[in-house]
Chain A
């Protein structure tokens, strides 16, 4: 167990809990106004939110190691989903095992708080190892495409997401109350709020499509409404979870809103190229795991490094 339970955590988790209760209630109430299929999907989606909220909260308040194990599992499932949906060469089978193996290794550096290794392991060490593996595979057909695809998959599903792990183990700075668990809750919660807010604003007010070539469902109203909602909620919850003042909280909210949008679209672009609707069906009502963490693959590393810089400057 954590020696301390950060004081700001409880009201935020309680708030999140109440939002889910209200969402469940609203959907029950809308039962007669929705088509059968639309209703089932919404019920599934909210049920999955409950499960995600439960697992995530449990892991975060119990122990850092448990959270790192959960993140290892999430990265593994995301990478597996990725290699199952993109074209892969038979010659790269053994190499894939090496890539799978590097997932627990990356989280081990985090557990040891070896910051330098955490930063270079995938972008440098694995980048070179990948090429050695491909050379030893003795297959030049589709070489560049295969290498780029696998590297890209490791970057989004392992390197990007592992920043949540490092955020969790960040040492507490003197004089601030930046507990790792609070920062993780802050970034994950706001990223997911941004996704939901973009969806709700787009559904209710959206008509002008923002980038139909990539995603036919994204509208200007959704994009702007999402950024607005995320920034507002950021200013409300940041005193409880972060050392930020009002202006910093606003900037963090804007950053999450804008970059989350691009993370979402990045996965959408791949799905478009591969002609698929979802990346998988692991999370009922949401799609695959990559569909759920798409925005986080952008917001987690960006928030992490901005926060690191912020504490360095202010600290």
Chain B
């Protein structure tokens, strides 16, 4: 993973605003929009090399465990927690793995849109994050909005085209939250606000 950093910097190039708002240590949840396979690589490259072992993400098991190379890369190199599609975070086993990762002081990246959707469009959030925060209350949730990776490597494309990626980091929601749907609404609003701050060029 250490090699990823310079590659991300030269091939893509990152423009990060409010980098200092990132969590210095776990447990924390990072909630990001999902446009591309590059999303996780870029989010991980934001953290210092020594912290990388403590950054986890969840991955769609149907896709990532379908091929042994991909499975090795996802679980060994990225440190992804596989989740069966359809079971969502609501399913007992999947939730357990994520809860354990958080209890072990990890930072967990989640994509509440559920899947990489249409490039550069924000889809409605699924409720997994809310379920998670009610199970372990008090874990801060950091909204992060990324722009550009859906252009560089959108769903269904094989060729990577260099584009600069903008990363906007929002304020964490860290109070104990018992109302799941309220939390999701706040997250979605914060995300839309971050997106509108960016003044991003048209992509059609």
Contacts and interface: CB of A to CB of B under 8 A. Distances in A.
B15 A88 contact: no
Interface string B167-204: 00000000000000000000000000000000101111
Interface string B74-101: 0000000000000000000000000000
B161 interface: yes
B15 A281 contact: yes
A76 B151 CA distance: 17
Contact of A88 (B154, B159, B199, B201): B201
Interface in B110-140: 119
Contact of A77 (B13, B159, B199, B201): B13
Contacts of A281: 15
SS class of chain B's interface: helix, strand, loop or mixed?
loop
A88 B151 contact: yes
Interface string A54-95: 000000000000000000000011001101111111100110
B38 interface: no
B20 interface: no
Interface in A124-150: 141-142
B161 to A, nearest CB: 5
Contacts of B161: 93-94, 96-97, 100
B201 A90 contact: no
Q: Which of A86, A88, A275, A280 counts the most B-chain CB atoms under 10 A from its CB?
A: A88
B52 interface: no
B13 A97 contact: no
A247 B133 CA distance: 75
Given A80-B163, A93-B161, A97-B159, A87 B15 contact: no
Interface in B1-44: 13, 15
A84 B148 contact: yes
Nearest to A282: B13
A274 to B, nearest CB: 7
A280 B165 CA distance: 11
A93 B157 contact: yes
A81 B201 contact: no
Interface residues of B, number: 17
Interface in A94-119: 94, 96-97, 100
Given A84-B148, A85-B201, A90-B204, A280 B159 contact: no
Contacts of B154: 90
A100 B157 CA distance: 18
A13 interface: no
Contacts of A83: 163
Interface in A280-315: 280-282
A276 B201 CA distance: 10
B65 interface: no
Nearest to B162: A80
Nearest to A289: B13
Contacts of B163: 80, 83-84
Contacts of A282: 13
A80 B164 contact: yes
Contacts of B15: 280-281
A256 to B, nearest CB: 30
Nearest to A275: B199
Contacts of A142: 204
A80 B201 contact: no
B24 to A, nearest CB: 22
Nearest to B199: A275
Contact of B203 (A90, A94, A141, A280): A90
A87 B202 contact: yes
Given A80-B164, A281-B15, A87 B159 contact: no
Nearest to A93: B161
Given A77-B13, A80-B164, A90 B119 contact: yes
B145 to A, nearest CB: 16
B38 to A, nearest CB: 14
B164 A280 contact: yes
A83 B151 CA distance: 11
A95 to B, nearest CB: 9
A180 to B, nearest CB: 27
The 5 closest A-B CB pairs, nearest first, are A87-B202, A84-B164, A87-B201, A96-B161, A84-B163
Interface of A: 76-77, 80-81, 83-90, 93-94, 96-97, 100, 141-142, 274-276, 280-282
Interface of B: 13, 15, 119, 148, 151, 154, 157, 159, 161-164, 199, 201-204
17 contacts: A80-B164, A81-B164, A84-B13, A85-B201, A88-B151, A88-B201, A89-B204, A90-B151, A90-B204, A93-B157, A93-B161, A94-B159, A94-B161, A96-B161, A141-B204, A274-B201, A282-B13
